Amino acid sequence: MTIKPLIILPDPVLRQVSTPIETIDDDVRRLADDMLETMYDAPGIGLAAIQIGVPRRLLVLDVTKEGEEKKPLVFINPKIVRSSDDRSVYEEGCLSIPDYYAEVQRPAGITVEYLDRDGKEQSIEADGLLATCLQHEIDHLNGVLFIDHISKLKRDMVIRKFTKAAKVRGAKAI
């Protein structure tokens, strides 16, 4: 397994819509393993393939608390098929937008259909942190960032801050 470099705002790669995975093979499983290692190293609780520059519909999660046994989850071609009318608010952060957090309102419960690492069709009902994390990572697969769910004023401030930092690093901007 290999720790991959993270794509950081304002890199335009983060706005790409990821393509479905047609065949689940050893390369896809290796990518998932690399993503898990990258996520744990960061440290984070979720990572979409696009965040390491791979525009494929793959995400990994582990929402266990510190000190608990790890329970890594791999979602290939995930799709939200049901969202509750109830809403919840969580303070979200993102490995691609380091050290910035904001409260985001999303559906409190969702149902997601996906393929597991063996290519078997699965469905999961999620609420709480798992539902929030799944929605956050699926947004990444659609070129959407959590800052797109906050006010335009706050979003513009964050983008300006990261664009300025990118210029200092000599990185690409959106």
Q: Which residues are annotated as a binding site?
A: 94, 136, 140
Q: Which two tokens stand for residue 158?
A: 């964050």
SS3 132: helix
Marked catalytic residue, from 22, 37, 113, 137: 137
CB burial of residue 113 (10 Å; 0-12, 13-18, 19+) = middle
Whether 137 is a known active-site residue: answer yes
- How far apart are alpha carbons 38 and 30 in whole angstroms? 12
Q: Could you list the residues known to form a binding site for Fe cation, using ranges.
A: 94, 136, 140
Length of the chain: 174
Q: Which residues are catalytic?
A: 137
